[in-house]
Amino acid sequence: MNIPLSKPFFDKEETEEIKKVLETGWVAGQGPKNKELEEEFAKYIGVKHAICISNCTAALHLALLALGIGRGDEVIVPDFTFPATAHAVLYVNAKPVFIDIDPTTFNINTKLIEKKITKNTKAIIPVHMFGLCADMDSIIKIAKKHSLFVIEDAACAVGNKYKRRFAGSMGDVGCFSFHARKNITSGEGGIITTNNQEIADTIRSLSCFGMTSAFSREKDFHIPTFTKLGYNYKLSDIAAAITLIQLKRSEKFIEKRRQLAEYYNEKLKDIKQVQCPVAEEYNRHVYQAYTILLDKNINRNDLITRLKEKGIQTQIGTYALHMQPVYSNVAECNEQDFPVTKIVFEQSLALPMYNELTFEEIDYIVSELKEILK
């Protein structure tokens, strides 16, 4: 048996949409399919504006730029996340300030945030880890109290609902990913959401070299001017067309993943060395990844190797940023400040999770996991 960690789902609808885009001749960024995706995505999560972007890292970069964050500023980031979150802070010459995480949700521990706020703090970037929304009520309350921006890193959380509001609709800006491991995907890609017209206009301009897009200039000819130092962060219309089809299936995909997660939970509940992911009823987990926490006496890396020998691909959860050399000279990286992150980094294990995964395959995964843990 060969079970991958993740596998995107495509069928003839995506193929047909790609063909249509190729026939129009508009395959570059900021074209008609980009516009359609922006409108549908904004409607889906309930915001006024959505802007297609080449990937979520670029989205985070542009969000920080649009909010005026730069040299000398500090941005609060959870310590347990993919480095892209903190990389974007460094891109604008600001300083990432790491916060330890909650041991059950793996999201930022909101009780620790205010201790790290200084006169230089300008924003908080909560990460909705593995598809579970961070404690946004507490984060927004803290942000309002200290006049901080909130940028939601919702890379893993398309379709997550937190108290009836979608991830990416609660902060000043939301940033999403359409990478191949995400619930909906075009291979690579991203989108930014906001309810602020000025922020949306700035991001749209910055994503296209600091000028107006070619598609928006088709009706009335004029020579654009470059008013900002912009970037080439556009999403191709081919990718936008694929994502549109995927977006229509989002709720179906989420329901399937939640069923698979429930089955995993049931099969794993009696294994004492394993902590399953948790979610409250008000916080709809979309399970971009199904990540368990192993007992500290288990060698996680050895387990990954042994499961691979059985045809089961697994992976670490994600990274402890304070342990990464790239941040050693630009952030406070004292290990004693991040006891939970260190444990979760070393003992978390992502099990296979994708739409075509079967219950029979989960049976096999759990059976082999139990055998190895003996």
Q: Tell me the torsion sign for CA atoms 62, 65, 67, 70.
A: positive
Kindly state the helix (H) or strand (E) to which residue 152 belongs, with its residue range.
Answer: strand 149-153
State how far the alpha carbon of 292 is from the alpha carbons of 82, 130, 161, 320, in Å.
17, 11, 22, 16
Integer Cα distance of 65 and 71 in angstroms: 11
The two beta strands, 74-78 and 274-275, are: unpaired
Helix ranges (H only) for the chain are 12-24, 32-45, 56-66, 84-91, 136-146, 197-206, 237-248, 250-268, 300-309, 339-347, 359-373
Integer Cα distance of 232 and 257 in angstroms: 34
* C-beta separation of 190 from 164 below 8 A: no
First and final C-alpha spacing in the chain? 21
State how far the alpha carbon of 201 is from the alpha carbons of 40, 45, 50, 177, in Å.
18, 19, 10, 20
Quickly tell me which residue has 């596998």 as its tokens.
7
Kindly name the residue from 122, 161, 182, 267 that is annotated as catalytic. Answer: 182
Q: Shortest CA distance to 254 belongs to which of 340, 166, 339?
A: 166
DSSP assignment string, 33-94: HHHHHHHHHHHHHT-SEEEEES-HHHHHHHHHHHTT--TT-EEEEESBS-THHHHHHHHTT-
Integer Cα distance of 56 and 58 in angstroms: 5
182 carries an active-site annotation: yes
Integer Cα distance of 150 and 5 in angstroms: 32
Active site residue ranges: 182
